[in-house]
């Protein structure tokens, strides 16, 4: 039997419903923020990621899926979203638009060859935001507010933002010199990766998970002592804007992020997830004021973030939060015998074209079997199609919860069902205690989180 590749997974059933719900929620959320959707190719020129993400990053040096195409060109499956969006921004001359800043969002599959483990896959899905054209710390705060708002909407608790400033290029150069001086006596204690980072990008030593408990890491110089006045001002204003939005944050001096292109603001958003251990980070991002020009575009400041679908859905599972509606249909149409299958099929299609979630029998079940199938599908209403209905053009419609029956002229079926389904939805809203727009009623009230 052929099986899926290691580090990948299939989407179906309840998991598929949750992903669909999350995507719809993201669509709605990004509309309210007035961000435009962008989509870039799944594979791009390898040089884009080597130059954009950084040669010294683990992503490029260890994890990319690289291949030669039939034209002998070096190609890479995208390991992250930012570089591709920046390439698109430059190639499509979005920098010439009059409606700056350009605020974009994306979602789609990314690929990294790493050891599969809980919540980590070789093919994974990412949602991200990239904004171009303003250096304002107000935009940093707006970008940070998006995942915070999303996590609140999903019902996650203990949401907290960690922020730090990497400073401008002047600040980073001063800090780089200080780090080289500090770590030079301790090179023998550092892991092999950090020894390589020492000469290429010493700032990334602070992002090492292996050496984080070493005393030399704890005693490392603080970046805040090397910030320029403009960087200090930017960081202070960011904190003021976050406070204005009511967003809790802490300043984490050791937060540097693992990508080479970040400048000024970097951040992580975490939630209090039972079972995640010490790493409750669900989202990360920051500002990159020189990436566009580094990839041959005009000097354009940018800021963004990314989060993984799989980690979000894992967090929701740990917190016992269920997304999406039950697998229910509005109407189940039942033929009284095989000779009425054609009429039943036509009515089913008519109801679907009028916006009702409709199902019918495809297996030749008897009447009792169809009633059971309607119950499995949690059908709100049943429509019976038989000899009397065909002659009189009057259909029996049954409320599948109350068992109440109605005789409805075929010309008024759509109007009748629309009215009755609105009554059911209104009744649910009256009984719901949590205020969630996707709640459904059952005995005892709301069961959105059940």
> Rounded to whole angstroms, what are the CA distances from 265 to 168, 171, 284?
10, 13, 11
Judging by DSSP bridges, how do beta strands 102-111 and 36-37 pair with one another? Answer: parallel
Q: What domains sit in the chain, N to C, each tagged with a CATH number? A: 13-168+228-318 (3.30.930.10), 331-446 (3.40.50.800)
What is residue 423's three-state secondary structure? helix
For 371-392, how does the pLDDT look when each residue is reduced to its tens digit (9 = 90+)? 999 999 999 999 999 988 778 8
C-beta of residue 257 within 8 angstroms of C-beta of residue 286: yes
- Say whether 432 sits in a helix, a strand or coil: coil
Q: What is the pLDDT of residues 250-307, one digit of tens each?
A: 999 888 775 667 889 999 999 988 878 667 899 999 999 999 999 999 999 999 999 9
pLDDT at residue number 443: 35
Looking at the DSSP bridge assignments, the partners of residue 307 are 127
In angstroms, rounded to a whole number, what is the distance separating the alpha carbons of residues 141 and 129?
13
Helix (H, G, I), strand (E, B) or coil at 402: coil
Contact 82, 40 (CB under 8 A): no
pLDDT digits (tens, 9 = 90+) for 228-250: 999 999 999 999 999 999 999 99
- For the chain, the C-alpha Rg in angstroms (whole number) is 28
- Rounded distance between C-alpha atoms, residue 341 and residue 360, angstroms: 9
Over residues 326-352, mean pLDDT:
92
Mean pLDDT calculated for residue range 158-177: 90
Residue 223 binned pLDDT confidence (cut-offs 50, 70, 90)? confident
Q: Is 271 buried (19+), middle (13-18) or exposed (0-12) by CB count in 10 A?
A: buried
- Note every long-range contact of 316-319, with CB atoms under 8 Å and residues 24 or more positions apart, other chains counting: 316/18, 316/154, 316/155, 316/156, 318/273, 318/274, 318/275, 318/276, 319/155, 319/156, 319/157, 319/273, 319/274
Query: Which pLDDT score is estimated for 10?
Result: 93
pLDDT greater than 60 at residue 433: no
For residues 113 and 186, give the distance between their C-alpha atoms in angstroms, rounded to a whole number: 31
Residue 385 and residue 344 in contact, taking contact as beta carbons nearer than 8 Å: yes
Q: What is the mean pLDDT of the chain?
A: 88
Long-range CB contact pairs, 312-315, < 8 A, 24+: 312/22, 312/154, 312/282, 313/15, 313/18, 313/19, 313/22, 314/118, 314/119, 315/156, 315/271, 315/273, 315/276, 315/282
- CA atoms of 432 and 448, how far apart (whole Å): 9
Round to whole Å and give the CA distance between 224 and 226.
5
Residue 419's alpha-carbon distances to 71, 356, 396, 438, in angstroms, are: 61, 12, 16, 19
CA distances 271 to 40, 215, 244, Å, are: 30, 28, 20
The predicted-structure confidence for 17-36, as pLDDT tens digits, reads as follows: 999 999 999 999 999 999 99
How far is residue 325's CA from residue 442's CA, in Å, rounded to a whole number? 13
With beta carbons less than 8 A apart as the criterion, state whether 15 and 313 touch. Answer: yes
Lookup result for tokens 């780089």: 176
Q: Are 428 and 421 spatial neighbours (Cβ–Cβ below 8 Å)?
A: no
pTM of the model: 0.84
Q: Token digits for 87?
A: 């390439």
Q: Where are the alpha helices (DSSP H) in 275-412?
A: 291-294, 309-318, 341-353, 367-376, 387-392
The pairing of strands 65-68 and 74-77 is antiparallel
Q: What is the rounded distance in angstroms from the CA atom of residue 221 to the CA atom of residue 181? A: 10
Residue (of 41, 26, 37, 28) closest to 104 by Cα position? 37
3-class DSSP assignment, residue 304: strand
Whole-number Å distance between alpha carbons of 340 and 189 = 81
Whether 113 and 8 have beta carbons less than 8 Å apart is answered as no
Q: What is the pLDDT of residues 349-375, one digit of tens each?
A: 999 999 999 999 999 999 999 999 999
Residue 442 has pLDDT above 50, yes or no: no
Residue 205 scores a pLDDT above 90: no
- In which element (H, E) is residue 49 found? helix 46-52
List, in sequence order, the alpha helices (H) in 201-281: 215-218, 229-244
């Amino acid at each position: 039997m052929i099986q899926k590749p290691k580090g990948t997974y299939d989407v179906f059933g309840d998991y598929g419903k949750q992903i669909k719900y999350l995507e719809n929620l993201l669509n709605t959320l990004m509309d309210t923020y007035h961000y435009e959707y962008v989509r870039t190719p799944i594979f791009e020129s390898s040089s884009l990621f080597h130059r954009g993400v950084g040669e010294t990053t683990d992503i490029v040096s260890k994890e990319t899926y690289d291949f030669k195409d039939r034209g002998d060109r070096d190609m890479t499956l995208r390991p992250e979203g930012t570089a591709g969006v920046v390439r698109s921004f430059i190639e499509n001359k979005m920098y010439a638009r009059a409606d700056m800043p350009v605020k974009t969002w994306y979602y789609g599959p990314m690929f990294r060859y790493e050891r599969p483990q809980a919540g980590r896959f070789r093919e994974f899905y990412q949602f991200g935001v990239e904004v171009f054209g303003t250096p304002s710390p107000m935009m940093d705060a707006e970008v940070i507010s998006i995942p915070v708002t999303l996590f609140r909407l999903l019902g996650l608790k203990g949401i907290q933002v960690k922020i730090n400033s990497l400073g401008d290029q002047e600040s980073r150069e001063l800090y780089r010199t200080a780090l080289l001086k500090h770590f030079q006596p301790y090179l023998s204690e550092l892991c092999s990766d950090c020894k390589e980072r020492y000469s290429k990008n010493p700032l990334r030593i602070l992002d090492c998970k292996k050496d984080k408990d070493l005393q030399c890491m704890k005693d490392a110089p603080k970046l805040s002592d090397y910030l320029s006045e403009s960087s200090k001002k930017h960081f202070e204003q960011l904190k003021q804007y976050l406070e204005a939005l009511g967003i809790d944050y802490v300043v984490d001096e050791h937060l540097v992020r693992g990508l080479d292109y970040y400048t000024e603001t970097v951040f992580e958003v975490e939630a209090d997830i039972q079972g995640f251990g010490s790493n409750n980070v669900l989202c990360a991002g920051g500002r990159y004021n020189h990436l566009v020009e580094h990839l041959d575009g005009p000097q354009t400041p940018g800021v963004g973030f990314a989060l993984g679908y799989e980690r979000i859905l894992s967090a929701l599972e740990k917190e016992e939060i269920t997304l999406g509606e039950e697998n229910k249909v509005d109407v189940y149409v039942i033929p009284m015998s095989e000779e009425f299958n054609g009429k039943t099929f036509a009515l089913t299609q008519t109801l679907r074209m009028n916006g009702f979630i409709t199902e019918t029998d495809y297996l030749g079940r008897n009447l009792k079997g169809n009633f059971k199938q309607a119950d499995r599908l949690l059908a709100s209403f049943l429509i019976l199609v038989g000899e009397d209905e065909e002659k009189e053009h009057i259909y029996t419609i049954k409320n599948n919860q109350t068992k109440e029956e109605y005789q409805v002229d075929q010309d008024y079926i759509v109007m009748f069902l629309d009215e009755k389904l609105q009554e059911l939805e209104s009744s649910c809203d009256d009984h719901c205690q949590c205020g969630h727009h996707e709640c459904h009623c059952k005995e005892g009230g709301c069961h959105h989180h059940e």
